[in-house]
Amino acid sequence: MLDIGPGIGLPAAGLRRTALTLLLACALAAPAAAVPPPAPARAAPGPGPNADPTFPFSNEVEAFAKANSAGPPMRDATLFLGSSSIRLWDIAGSFTDIGTVNRGFGGATTAHVLHYYKRLLPPVPPRSVVVYVGENDLAAGTTPDAVSRDILTLLKRLRADYPRAAIVWLSLKPSPIRWTLWPKMAQVNAAIAARARAEKFDYLDVGTALLARDGLPDASLFRPDGLHMNARGYQRWTGLVDAYLDHARPVGTSGGKTS
């Protein structure tokens, strides 16, 4: 037997190496055994399931349904319907002498309004309807002819559902960030204005009031994003729409309120 140290033979050294190896293995394994594995990550709680996953805005539309059932229905109200220009407008604060219902949702195209149409309407027929939609359609690349057809489809549907209400479509507005789209907007405005009398709705020019003397959009009437109006811009719209509503009458009558 070969000696490697005083009193230590090969078998003893082998046992010592084996023991050291086992101790080292246990020491390395201990921390892993002491720390439990991490629990599976949980998704942060959200606002709840989307009521209509195939379309955006469904949570906003559900909020409209809740508003409809929150209290007694408002009679002889004016329905404001459309995209973010309607949603961001302080409708109730701007038209304090009439009842109002705001059904604007940001980023909406005419196709979105048509998709959600029945869920946007108040429980009681309105006295009048103010519509602003179509601008986002053009920004998304839809042609002016297609935008005009969709807008007319919406207005015809409103007329069929509310045969006596005064219905007005607000012209597409010029904004600094979308000024390159203005020729297409003007084309849509002209097409809708040309059909107003035949389809029994009104056309109201709310774009000219937002232009500066040089014919360009007045940036002082818009928010820093160059798209949405600020309070001064909305004041101009309020003045125009308020004047219209003061003289608007239910279809087929010379005065009075919609029943």
Task: Report pLDDT digits (tens) over 51-91.
Answer: 444 466 767 777 787 777 777 778 999 999 999 999 999 99
* pLDDT at position 17 over 60: no
pLDDT score of 250: 77
Are 168 and 131 a contacting pair, CB within 8 Å?
yes
pLDDT score of 186: 98
Q: Which of 45-49, 90-94, 178-182, 211-215 has the lowest mean pLDDT?
A: 45-49
Tokens encoding 200: 């029994």
Predicted confidence band at 9 (pLDDT cuts at 50, 70, 90)? very low
CB proximity list for 38: less than 8 A, separation 6 or greater: none
* pLDDT at position 256 over 80: no
pLDDT score of 56: 67
pLDDT score of 252: 66
pLDDT score of 62: 76
For 18, counting Cβ atoms within 10 Å of its Cβ (0-12 exposed, 13-18 middle, 19+ buried), the class is exposed
User: Can you tell me the mean pLDDT for 89-116?
Assistant: 95
Residue that is written with structure tokens 């990550």 in the block: 41
Domain 61-247 CATH superfamily: SGNH hydrolase (3.40.50.1110)
Residue that is written with structure tokens 């046992």 in the block: 15
Q: Over the chain, what is the mean pLDDT?
A: 82
**% of the chain at pLDDT higher than 90:** 66
Q: For strand 78-82 and strand 3-5, is the pairing parallel, antiparallel, or unpaired?
A: unpaired
Predicted confidence band at 253 (pLDDT cuts at 50, 70, 90)? low
Distance CA 59, CA 110 (A): 18
Predicted confidence band at 258 (pLDDT cuts at 50, 70, 90)? very low
Task: Specify the higher pLDDT residue, 5 or 160.
Answer: 160
**% of the chain at pLDDT higher than 70:** 75
- What residues does each domain of the chain span? 61-247
Predicted confidence band at 30 (pLDDT cuts at 50, 70, 90)? very low
Distance CA 128, CA 24 (A): 85
Most confident of 3-7, 112-116, 230-234: 230-234
pLDDT score of 63: 78
